[in-house]
Amino acid sequence: MHPQPNLIDALDTLSPETLIAWDKTYVWHPFTPMKQYLASEPVIIRRGQGVKLEDIHGNWYYDGTSSIWLNVHGHNVPELNAALEAQLRRIAHATMLGQANVPAVALAKRLIEVAPPGLQRVFYSDSGATAVEIALKMAIQFWANQGWRSKRYILGFTNNYHGDTLGAVGVAPDPLFHWPFLDLLPGHPRAPYPYPHDRLAESLEAVEHVLRTRHHELAALIVEPVEGAGGILPAPAGFLRALRTLCDRYQVLLIIDEVATGFGRTGRLFACEAEGISPDLLCLGKGLTGGYLPLAATLTTERVFEAFLGEVEERKTFFHGHSYTGNPLGCAVALASLELLLQRLPSLPAKVERLRAHLAPLSEHPFVAELRQAGFMVGIEIVADRARRTPFPYGAQVGFIVARHARRRGMLVRPIGSVLIFMPPLAATEAELEEMTTILKAAFEDALPELERLAQNLQPNV
Ligand code: PMP
């Protein structure tokens, strides 16, 4: 055999024009209106270093989304690279169906050591959505294995988001995004999320009403500690604790989706620590590998696990798995990332407060209705009229106007609807956080004339 030239090094010789043409000819992007994308000047990333990304033209940008909420320690991190390379020399992948691999075993033990108390078992998968699917199916089968076939509904919250597979969509349908699928969904009940916080009592009353009247057909309740994709809406103190109590009272399992909030994103290792409670099922993804590789996990208790033990013909087994479940490369990086994160945790509260201070002036911006922050998760809600809270129409894509200016100034951010989401990597230094927020504030200033024009067009003619 002839030695092959390194295919990846060879990609560096491709011109930006070629890469852009190939992207526009062959690729279909997630959550992206492709008609508009094809007409745009795309960002194609070539490399990353620390909290910055370089595109194929040689422009460097701050990674203001943590590469969609998952990067923890920055890019090209020596410790993570070393773990990945070391594992690569051993094996890249081996199945977990009926067997194990060394990093997957070691990571499961380590996760259980740091997870909220009571969680004892780790079931791996490869994305946040699959971690959620697994929790939903485990909850339903937990009851079915004990003869409770009626307990097959899941209580969810309005405006929560749990991923894009149909099971996850079923517990969090969104009329805007999921309209073609709505009548395929099982009709799970939903309660209002307690935001603003003075709606806590109302929300808990609604939850209790559903639990009281339908507990015999409810397998579980699923909740996000902070509504992430809903626009960064943190739940009030006491909410998760109250849900824990209600779930216990009515014999319904509690699933906490920490795909976005886990691994330090709110300033603690897991958001539910702040409430001193443990769920029956905990969904993890995103930051698990520090943002390196697609690995996710659903953690559960020994009580749930034991309901799946039985003779083979009883069919109590959890017949669920993915080809790349427990991928050794992902698990090796996750082990290294977790150790780095544990060292980093004490530095986070000070950074969170610096971030809050730097961002504060933005809440005075004439088109900002609210600035919300949960640790390193920031949502800036843009409205046409602050006093009346009148939204801009969806088609105006006002978040993207600000994001375009931020990109021009050297930071990539991405809105959800009219909420600009800013999610810096946890590794950002205080100086980097200051620079990133300076860009963000300037981008909001740059957007002012365009927002004013759009708002004026909304005024009824007099
Ligand atoms: N749950 C939550 C709370 C999320 O924020 C997300 C992704 N933003 C998911 C689930 C789905 O994760 P993934 O995109 O990895 O499927």
Domain ranges in the chain? 7-76+346-457, 94-326
Is the pLDDT at 48 greater than 50? The verdict is: yes
161 is in an annotated binding site: yes
**How far does residue 137's CA lie from ligand 1's centre (Å)?**
17
For the Cβ of 265 lying below 6 angstroms from any atom of ligand 1, the answer is no
286 is in an annotated binding site: yes
Residues 6 or more apart whose CB falls under 8 angstroms from that of 442 comprise: 405, 409
Which atom of ligand 1 lies nearest, measured to the CA of 258?
A: 3
Amino acid at 9: D
List the one residue out of 221, 230, 232, 238 whose CA is nearest residue 274. Answer: 238
Residues 6 or more apart whose CB falls under 8 angstroms from that of 429 comprise: none
235 is in an annotated binding site: no
**How far does residue 242's CA lie from ligand 1's centre (Å)?**
24
Is the pLDDT at 395 greater than 90? The verdict is: no
Q: Per residue in 16-49, is it b (16+ CB within 10 Å) or e — as a string? A: eeebeeeeeeeeeeeeeeeeeeeeeeeeeebebe
For the Cβ of 260 lying below 6 angstroms from any atom of ligand 1, the answer is yes
Is 94-326 in the same CATH topology as 7-76+346-457?
no
Q: What is the pLDDT of residues 53-102, one digit of tens each?
A: 999 999 999 999 999 999 999 999 999 999 999 999 999 999 999 999 99
Cα 246 from Cα 215, distance rounded (Å): 11
Of all protein residues, the one whose alpha carbon is nearest to atom 12 of ligand 1 is 128
**How far does residue 131's CA lie from ligand 1's centre (Å)?**
9
For the Cβ of 127 lying below 6 angstroms from any atom of ligand 1, the answer is yes
Q: Is the pTM of this model over 0.85?
A: yes
Are residues 11 and 5 in contact, defined by beta-carbon separation less than 8 angstroms?
Answer: no
pLDDT band at 462 (very low <50, low <70, confident <90, very high): very low
Task: Map the chain to HEC letters.
Answer: CCCCCCHHHHHCCCCHHHHHHHHHHHCCCCCCCHHHHHCCCCCCEEEEEECEEEECCCCEEEECCHHHHCCCCCECCHHHHHHHHHHHCCCCCCCCCCCCCHHHHHHHHHHHHHCCCCEEEEEEECCHHHHHHHHHHHHHHHHHCCCCCCCCEEEEECCCCCCCCHHHHHCCCCCCCCHHHHHHCCCCCEECCCCCHHHHHHHHHHHHHHHHHHHHHEEEEEECCEECCCCCEECCCCHHHHHHHHHHHCCCEEEEECCCCCCCCCCCCCHHHHHCCCCCEEEECHHHHCCCCCCEEEEEEHHHHHCCCCCHHHCCCCCCCCCCCCCHHHHHHHHHHHHHHHHHHHHHHHHHHHHHHHHHHHHHCCCEEEEEEECCEEEEEECCECCCCECCCHHHCHHHHHHHHHHHHCEECEEECCEEEECCCCCCCHHHHHHHHHHHHHHHHHHHHHHHHHHHHHCCCC
Q: What is the pLDDT of residues 239-275, one digit of tens each?
A: 999 999 999 999 999 999 999 999 999 999 999 999 9
pLDDT (0 to 100) of residue 1:
61
For the Cβ of 161 lying below 6 angstroms from any atom of ligand 1, the answer is yes
128 is in an annotated binding site: yes
CATH number for the domain formed by residue range(s) 7-76+346-457 = 3.90.1150.10
- Ligand 1 pocket test, candidate residues 70, 136, 161, most atoms within 8 A of CB: 161
CATH number for the domain formed by residue range(s) 94-326 = 3.40.640.10
For the Cβ of 224 lying below 6 angstroms from any atom of ligand 1, the answer is yes
For the Cβ of 87 lying below 6 angstroms from any atom of ligand 1, the answer is no
321 is in an annotated binding site: yes
List the one residue out of 239, 12, 21, 256 whose CA is nearest residue 135. Answer: 256
- Ligand 1 pocket test, candidate residues 130, 162, 263, 421, most atoms within 8 A of CB: 162
Q: What is the pLDDT of residues 343-370, one digit of tens each?
A: 999 999 999 999 999 999 999 999 999 9
Which atom of ligand 1 lies nearest, measured to the CA of 128?
A: 12
Are residues 428 and 51 in contact, defined by beta-carbon separation less than 8 angstroms?
Answer: yes
For the Cβ of 297 lying below 6 angstroms from any atom of ligand 1, the answer is no
Is the pLDDT at 123 greater than 50? The verdict is: yes
Which of 3-17, 155-169, 380-394, 403-417 has the lowest average pLDDT?
Answer: 3-17
